[in-house]
Structure 1
Amino acid sequence: MHTRRRGSSDSDKPVADEPPEWSDVDADAVEERVVELAEQGHSPSEIGLKLRDEGVQGTPVPDVALATDKKITEILEEHDAEPEFPEDLRNLMKRAVRLRDHMDENPNDHQNKRALQNTQSKIRRLVDYYRGDELDADFTYSYDKAKELL
């Protein structure tokens, strides 16, 4: 959106209807592990990586959705362990705070000034998208709020 380049194409995830036979983990055990990792402060994407790499009781879980028929965020919602902000919005806010701190130290860094403007623009669009459902109806983005929340 903010560059003149075209988007890069990604490889598609292989189509699968059921988990592989070597990963025979109980769905309840996977859900318990997801909630446990969320309580430790991990984001949904980090939880997926940990389950893929470490697994549950030593058995890797290549795809939580195939193992449990639910996404990680759905599992977290059921157990009231979902993060207060959507992960994509939180990551953009972290980036904006980092860029703003950099701009305070380096006021003549025009590339980062542009990057900060683009990031804040993305944040505002995402806030509009999430407002009412996952965010309060009167939530507005500001640097001070983002620094306080993070």
Structure 2
Amino acid sequence: MARMHTRRRGSSDSDKPVADEPPEWSDVDADAIEERVVELAEQGHSPSEIGMKLRDEGVQGTPIPDVKLATDKKVTEILEDHDAEPDVPEDLRNLMDRAVRLRDHMEENPTDYQNKRALQNAEAKIRRLVDYYRGDEMPVDFTYSYDVAVDILEE
């Protein structure tokens, strides 16, 4: 897929190996995995951080290479089932964090035109994502602004 804000083509990503079942050495119970996912979410970890922690630390000392293969649910689905999902989708939160950091940088460096363009691109992407999520994960009357982003990120 082409890049959104440049005229260059994107680089290809690596694909996960095709697997229908978890490896034999990872024989942790699905309920234990779900409990650990909810526990990590309550500690304030994002879904991607939860996946990395399960991959690195595991459950009961056994690493979990792929939560979906072990439980037949994605991490976000597990969080939805246990009412532990984050208020703002992770991709939108990460973009808001980037925009806030860029805005703070622009206040200190007003002639940095390259980062001014990066801020415009990030905010445009945020507005598109808000339109996508509006009504489902975000309130219908939600509109993006710098102050709203700062408030969301402080929570």
Is the TM-score greater than 0.5? yes
User: Equivalents in 1 of 2:81, 2:119: separation in Å?
Assistant: 36
Name the amino acid aligned to 1:60: P
Q: Percent identity?
A: 85
Shift, 1:87, TM fit? 0.2
User: Equivalents in 2 of 1:50, 1:125: separation in Å?
Assistant: 30
Deviation track 1:4-58 (CA, whole Å, cap 9, x = no partner) reads 1101101111111100000000000000000000000000000000000000010
User: Equivalents in 2 of 1:114, 1:5: separation in Å?
Assistant: 17
Gaps of 5+ in 2: none
> Which residue does the alignment assign to 1:86?
89
SS at match of 2:140: coil
> Which residue does the alignment assign to 2:31?
28
> Which residue does the alignment assign to 1:105?
108
Which of 129, 132, 138 aligns to 1:129? It is 132
Shift, 1:76, TM fit? 0.2
SS at match of 2:111: coil
TM-score scaled by length of structure 1: 0.99
Name the amino acid aligned to 2:75: I
Deviating 4+ runs (over 6 angstroms): none
> Which residue does the alignment assign to 1:73?
76
Name the amino acid aligned to 2:89: P
Aligned residues: 150
Deviation track 1:89-111 (CA, whole Å, cap 9, x = no partner) reads 00000000000000011100000
Q: Does 1:61 align with 2:64?
A: yes
Shift, 1:149, TM fit? 1.1
Which of 1, 6, 15 aligns to 1:3? It is 6
Name the amino acid aligned to 2:114: Q
User: Equivalents in 2 of 1:20, 1:72: separation in Å?
Assistant: 18
> CA RMSD of the aligned region, Å?
0.4
User: Equivalents in 1 of 2:51, 2:152: separation in Å?
Assistant: 24
User: Equivalents in 2 of 1:104, 1:18: separation in Å?
Assistant: 51
User: Equivalents in 2 of 1:145, 1:12: separation in Å?
Assistant: 36
User: Equivalents in 1 of 2:77, 2:130: separation in Å?
Assistant: 21
